[in-house]
Amino acid sequence: METDLPKTEKARKELYLSQPDHRFEFEFTEDALSKRVVIVAGGTGGLGSATVSPATFKAGTIKFGIRNVGTMVHDFDLIKTDIAFDKLPTDVGSGKAKDDGLVKQMINIAANRVTTLSADLAPGNYVIICNVAGHYQLGMRAAFKVE
């Protein structure tokens, strides 16, 4: 059963934080080296934080392992942009970040689902976000660079 999202950011935040712990893990693989970013929002994890270490990859095909270990649906949007990862424009009505520069996308990743997505990436700056309404604003985002 779907419900309407609250109209204000504060109300959306309160609704989101009242839900069980939401975790969405992105696993990056380049050659034989495994790099990983874990994005946690809600529950005891707070509003969410993310880092990619190392934050730079070589141009070419990168395979993303995507695992939703949370209890709700999430999205995986890979965007090439020179805008800071926490400054993407958002649409207040939909609660979503604008995805200009979208390279690859996987939507409606169910809880407990594991999947992969490959992308041939040119040099530049990239952002990974969950673009389920309100999730980007709550910190479900990470940035990395391709050289």
The per-residue pLDDT for range 18-48, each reduced to its tens digit, is 555 555 566 555 544 555 555 544 333 334 4
Q: Please give the mean pLDDT across all residues of the chain.
A: 75
Provide the domain count of the chain. Answer: 1
Q: Taken in order 17, 93, 68, 58, is the CA torsion positive or negative?
A: negative
Nearest to 35 by CA among 45, 14, 50, 23: 50
> Of the ranges 8-17, 33-42, 118-127, which is most confident?
118-127
**CA gap 20, 22 in Å, rounded:** 6
Both structure tokens of 131? 């673009």
CATH of the domain at 63: 2.60.40
For residue 59, the enclosing domain spans: 9-146
Residue 4 within any structural domain of the chain: no
Beta strand 141-146 with 56-57: parallel, antiparallel or unpaired? Answer: parallel
Residue 3 within any structural domain of the chain: no
Residue 113 within any structural domain of the chain: yes
Q: What is the DSSP letter of 53?
A: B
Residue 80 within any structural domain of the chain: yes
